[in-house]
Structure 1
Amino acid sequence: MNAAQDILSLRLVSARMLTPEIRELRLESASGEALPGFEPGAHICVKVTLPDGSSAWREYSLIHLEATDSPSSYTIAVRREETGRGGSRFVHEALQTGQIIEVRAPRNQFPLDESSSRAVLLAGGIGVTPLASMAASCLQRQRPVLMHYAGRSRTGMALMSELETLLDTNLHVHADDEQGRPFDVAALFKNELREGDHLYFCGPLPLIDAVIAQADQHNWPRSHLHFELFNAPPAEEGDQAFEVEIASTGQVLQVPGDKSILDVLNDAGLDPLYDCNRGECGVCATGVLSGEIDHRDYILTEREKQAGNIMHPCVSRCKGPRLVLDL
């Protein structure tokens, strides 16, 4: 499991609507101290209250357009999701200026690489939040950068004016309602990406899937692909229950259709290593001795999936009745 993180008490000092659905919040230390620094791509976890009264943690990317080791505030932007589990509704409806909330200190699962190669940033909707900070950092470091920002309509795309000022001609905006079609990922690979570029992308799952599919078709090196998911891949209709056997002990666990293998392992007290819970970090990689894997992660290559000897139990499942795990 993850190492314990510092819990910060932060005060909401200002809030504004960037679009009809996206609320920006600026948070400062309740005690007036400088906050822990962070690198572009980092996020904080905010403690929210769900509709049933329970508490949960939600991750929101930090927006910072000026580099500093000791920031005086954190800025996040949260899109209201009417069909979500309730965290974004809490942020939009319940959090008021002056209120103190609990926040986990910044973590970064989506860092910029250390090379000087051109960074190509592709933002889909609210996926712009970590990429805006990356764009600013590239400019500050005099690293070549190009950003594509795609959304359904300009009226729903946050940080547009800031990015236009920051990037000028290095910002390409695609609005579906203006172009009459979604962003063309295939054209990005065919016409714009060049050898040595590092591609960073963040947004809804269809965009992530499309980019990875095009990358595979163009034999784009995985080491030059960097992305972040906001949510775990959704459960698929028809997911069935199955068994997992722990090879070292012979213990057999039942995995229902609505729970992940990782959840079941945790419930059984096996304390597996994991981090993102979205199939993108690779920390929970687990050996498989037998059984047919239903791979749903974003880590393994097609060749590794075909080998069938490793899986990510946070999202992947079994196509048959039983998997035997090398645990």
Structure 2
Amino acid sequence: MLAPTVKLRVASVDAPTALIKSLTLEAEDGALLQGYEPGAHIQVQIPAADGGVAQWRSYSLINTDPQIDTRAGVRAYHLGIRREDEGRGGSRFMHTLQAGATLTVRAPVSHFPLAAPPSVILIAGGIGITPMAAMAAELSALKRDYSLHFSGRTRDALPFVEELRAFAGERLVLHTDDDSATRLSIDALLDGAQVNQPIYVCGPSGMIDAVLAAARERGWHDCDLHYELFSEAAPQEGDTTFEIELKSSGKVLTVPADKSVLDTLLDNGVDVMYDCRAGYCGLCSTQVCGGEIDHRDTYLSDGDRAAGNVMQVCISRCKSERLVLDL
């Protein structure tokens, strides 16, 4: 079931870096907004372009004030959005917004909850700091031990540093690629940690993959590795065109090599629930009645994949010529 929608007003827009906009959203009547747990996000409706259909994009909720209990309700939602000129247009639209604009959003949900063990390692890459900021603020409020490693290409590319430093102090460790003395070394970081110390990582897929691989190599259990990917599914070399058949109507749609099943469905007016667009949240799970699935998600179990009767349409594809979907 999808979260309910609400109309929010853009109260202010700031630019903490050259590529990042910070938006503050409030209820039009000034009412208290639904609370959320650290790591949660909202979905924002992006208007249709070029005769297409409106779509939704997910943005993590930022909190840099340990004095605020976000679960109890908040006066505003704070977002940080990096402009992606090669993306699907969501960030470009969000970067055009000015104070006074109105947005339709879905209430907060979380696929990236903060667990309760005593000492936590937070690792953020670039705009991946947005969910981590709220986690760090809560850990500070609870007086729990943590470290926050924040990495980017340059110091100027790192947003919200002063706000984070104000409450995190020395727990905040900055890493920049252009400085060999501070460049993030995942090996050094994990060599200095305790095995199975909980790790939360958010950022580019390459960084996430490197952290997870290094931790597993050192004996970390998957239950202590938590991540959220800040990018959508991208075409892979060798991807080909295939067909999908909608069982209810018999309608056949063509999925191009550079397009996902989800986007093909949405472009043709098929109402499908979705959120992460990266194969880890499970919201777009769709029953498959025929065809061979090319599973690329991290949500399904090995048993689910072997059964071959359900897929994550945001990222998985087809190994045969056609998939028959129970839609």
TM range (shorter): 0.7 to 0.9
Range with greater deviation from structure 2 (156-165 or 57-66): 57-66
1:191-230 Cα offsets, whole Å, 9 max, x none, are: 1331342111111121122223223323421111111122
Choose which of 23, 26, 32 in structure 1 pairs with 2:24.
26
Range with greater deviation from structure 2 (8-17 or 26-35): 8-17
1:40 positional shift? 0.6
1:152 positional shift? 0.3
Residues 118 and 143 of structure 1 are in contact (CA less than 8 Å); yes or no, is this contact kept in structure 2? yes
The alignment yields a C-alpha RMSD, in angstroms, of 3.5
Work out the CA distance in 1 between the residues paired with 2:289 and 2:56: 35
Seen in structure 2, the aligned counterparts of structure 1 residues 210 and 290 have a Cα distance that, compared at 3 Å, is: farther
Question: Runs of 5+ in structure 2 lacking a partner?
Answer: none
Work out the CA distance in 2 between the residues paired with 1:202 and 1:28: 26
1:177 positional shift? 0.7
Range with greater deviation from structure 2 (271-280 or 95-104): 271-280
Q: Which amino acid aligns with 1:39?
A: E
SS in 2 for 1:177: coil
Work out the CA distance in 2 between the residues paired with 1:147 and 1:268: 43
Q: Which amino acid aligns with 2:232?
A: A
TM-score normalised according to structure 1 size: 0.82
Q: Which amino acid aligns with 1:22?
A: I
Question: Runs of 5+ in structure 1 lacking a partner?
Answer: none
SS in 1 for 2:136: helix
TM-score normalised according to structure 2 size: 0.82
Question: Residue in 1 aligned with 2:57?
Answer: 58
Equivalent residues in 2 for 1:1-327, closer than 5 Å: 3-49=1-47, 52=50, 55-64=54-63, 65=65, 66-68=68-70, 69-93=72-96, 95-113=97-115, 115-179=116-180, 183-189=184-190, 191-242=191-242, 255-261=255-261, 275-284=275-284, 294-299=294-299, 312-321=312-321
Q: Which amino acid aligns with 1:126?
A: I
Work out the CA distance in 2 between the residues paired with 1:319 and 1:219: 34
SS in 1 for 2:144: coil
Work out the CA distance in 2 between the residues paired with 1:82 and 1:130: 22
Seen in structure 2, the aligned counterparts of structure 1 residues 242 and 208 have a Cα distance that, compared at 3 Å, is: same
1:314 positional shift? 2.8
Residues 284 and 314 of structure 1 are in contact (CA less than 8 Å); yes or no, is this contact kept in structure 2? yes
SS in 2 for 1:210: helix
Q: Which amino acid aligns with 1:67?
A: D
Seen in structure 2, the aligned counterparts of structure 1 residues 166 and 127 have a Cα distance that, compared at 3 Å, is: same
Residues 124 and 151 of structure 1 are in contact (CA less than 8 Å); yes or no, is this contact kept in structure 2? yes
Work out the CA distance in 1 between the residues paired with 2:290 and 2:187: 37
Residues 196 and 220 of structure 2 are in contact (CA less than 8 Å); yes or no, is this contact kept in structure 1? no
Work out the CA distance in 2 between the residues paired with 1:195 and 1:112: 18
Number of aligned residues? 321
